[in-house]
Amino acid sequence: MSDCLFCKIVAGEIPSTKVYEDAHTYAFADTNPQAPTHVLVVPRQHFSDIADLARDAEASAGYLAGIRGLVEQEQLSDFRTVFNTGAGVGQSVFHVHAHVLAGRPMGWPPG
C-alpha cells in the first residue's frame, strides 16, 4: 500500500533499525520503546491487522515463522507479544505488527 508507513519501512523508503528479516518478515526497533527489547515484527506483504492476515494461511505461517526466527536470533526466553487491533485499543499503524517486548518484569493484566 503506497501510503502505509510500515510498507515504506519494509521497502527501505523510511529508515529503520533492522533487527531481523527473512523472506516473509521484517523486524525493526520501535522508536518509542516500552521495554529494553521492543521490536515490531511485520509481514512484508500488507495486511491491515491480525484478523486480515489470518485469512491467508500461507502468509500467516510465514509470519509466525518470522516471529520465531526473531525470538531465536535474540535468544528471548521470556517475552510478551502484543497485537493491537483497532484504534479503540491503540492501533495507530494499520499494517499488522507484533510488538515483541522483553527485558523487564511485566505484570498481568497489563495496565
Q: Burial level of 56, CB count in 10 A (0-12/13-18/19+)? A: middle
- Residues of this chain that interact with ligand 5GP (CB under 6 A) are 5, 16, 28-32, 40, 84, 90-93
- Give me the least distance between CB of 60 and Zn ion, in Å please: 16
**Comparison of 15 and 58: residue with beta carbon closer to ligand 5GP:** 15
Active site residues: 97
Return the C-alpha cell found at 43.
509481514
Q: Indicate which of Zn ion, ligand 5GP, none lies near residue 77 (CB less than 5 to 8 Å, by partner kind).
A: none
Contact residues for 71 (Cβ-Cβ < 8 A; gap 6+): 79, 100
Regarding 93 and contact with Zn ion (CB under 5 A), the answer is no
